[in-house]
Amino acid sequence: MTSGRFITLEGGEGVGKSTQARMLSEALITRGLGVLLTREPGGTPGAEAIRKLLLDTQFNWDARAEALLFAAARSDHVDHAIRPALDRGEWVVCDRFIDSSRAYQAGGGNSSDDAILAMHTIGSHGLMPDVTFLLVAETPEISARLAARDGDNQDRIGGKPEAYHGRVETRFRDLAAMDAKRFVLIDASGSPAEVHGRIMEAMEPLLGEGG
Ligand SMILES: Nc1ncnc2c1ncn2[C@@H]1O[C@H](COP(=O)(O)OP(=O)(O)OP(=O)(O)O)[C@@H](O)[C@H]1O
Ligand SMILES: Cc1cn([C@H]2C[C@H](O)[C@@H](COP(=O)(O)O)O2)c(=O)[nH]c1=O
């Protein structure tokens, strides 16, 4: 059995993660690999239920409760979906993971990075991705995509102020700079096919090893 790999896609709101996660998983399936395409918060019935609580604008979670809820959703997702898929030798393509908590709850919000990592150690045995694609693009292009997709319908976190999302973006880039071995920066501008081509190019070393 080939051994599976754990791949995450990260980045700010609407940069194209879900689109690229789908395209990547289809490309891996075409190569004959077993693939779990999943997302956070979510990916299991329990974590999807927590997702609803986290994104509903009627709740006003404080920073600690918010970080704990993301960690609880991730714990269930790792135990009941990601870890079993990796153990079966599948490739896991996950739309957001721990780096989103580090960028949003610690970079954008009031939690510390140490606290987020401690919760991850307790909740998810500190599982880290093999590779993380950080999608980056200029704000006007992304704002146009989001306006076309969501109009005025933003969830509790997507609807936070621009300054919050600016800090999130900066923290993502800082995390990538601190761990250049795991992160690959992907230019998310242009058509979905162009962005997919950049990701597949960056996948070559990994596919050579295991796929
Ligand atoms: N390269 C692209 N060019 C133009 N539009 C795109 C591109 N990639 C995605 N889109 C469109 O932009 C919107 C946001 O894309 P997508 O949902 O993939 O982003 P996301 O990063 O997963 O968003 P979110 O952070 O809200 O989950 C969607 O309507 C999608 O169809
Ligand atoms: C995993 C994770 C997510 N978030 C935020 C980021 C988004 O605003 C929402 C939902 O994600 P989607 O990809 O836009 O559907 O949740 C977060 O703040 N912390 C996290 O760990």
109 annotated ligand binder: no
| Binding pocket residue ranges, ligand 1, CB within 6 Å | 11, 13-19, 145, 149, 191-192, 195
Instruction: Please name the CATH architecture into which domain 6-210 falls.
Output: 3-Layer(aba) Sandwich (3.40)
The number of angstroms, rounded, from the C-alpha of 202 to the middle of its chain's C-alpha atoms is 17
The encoded tokens of residue 90 equal 């599948």
User: Rounded to whole angstroms, how far apart are CA atoms 116 and 111?
Assistant: 7
Check residue 208 and give its pLDDT: 87
Ligand 2 proximity of 107 Cβ (cutoff 6 Å): no
Distances (CA, A) of 24 to 84, 146, 170, 198: 20, 21, 25, 11
Using DSSP's 3-state secondary structure scheme, residue 194 falls into helix
15 annotated ligand binder: yes
Whether the ω angle into residue 41 lies within 30 degrees of 0, i.e. cis, is yes
Q: Is the Cβ–Cβ distance between 69 and 53 less than 8 Å?
A: yes
Q: Is the Cβ–Cβ distance between 199 and 20 less than 8 Å?
A: yes
Nearest residue by C-alpha to atom 28 in ligand 1: 149
Residue type, 29: I
Q: How confident is the model at residue 211 (pLDDT cuts 50, 70, 90)?
A: low
Q: Is the Cβ–Cβ distance between 40 and 74 less than 8 Å?
A: yes
Q: Which ligand is nearest to the CA of 71?
A: 2
Q: What is the pTM of this model?
A: 0.97
For residue 7, give the nearest of 209, 204, 203 by alpha carbon.
203
Q: Going by C-beta distance under 8 Å and a sequence separation of 6 or more, which residues neighbour residue 211?
A: 2, 28, 31, 33, 91
Distances (CA, A) of 174 to 102, 107, 161, 171, 177: 11, 10, 20, 5, 5
40 annotated ligand binder: no
- Identify any residues that bridge with 91 across adjacent strands, giving them in sequence order: 35
User: Rounded to whole angstroms, how far apart are CA atoms 163 and 102?
Assistant: 16
- Give backbone dihedrals phi and psi of 185, rounded to 5 degrees, phi first: -80, 130
pLDDT per residue over 14-50, tens digit each? 999 999 999 999 999 999 999 999 999 999 999 999 9
Report which ligand 1 atom has the smallest distance to the Cα of 11.
Answer: 21
User: Rounded to whole angstroms, how far apart are CA atoms 28 and 186?
Assistant: 18
Check residue 120 and give its pLDDT: 98
pLDDT per residue over 150-206, tens digit each? 888 899 999 999 999 999 999 999 999 999 999 999 999 999 999 999 999 999 999
Check residue 10 and give its pLDDT: 98
Check residue 1 and give its pLDDT: 47
Instruction: Name the residue ranges covered by the structural domains of the chain.
Output: 6-210
Structure ipTM: 0.98
Q: Which ligand is nearest to the CA of 42?
A: 2
pLDDT per residue over 109-165, tens digit each? 999 999 999 999 999 999 999 999 999 998 888 888 888 888 888 999 999 999 999
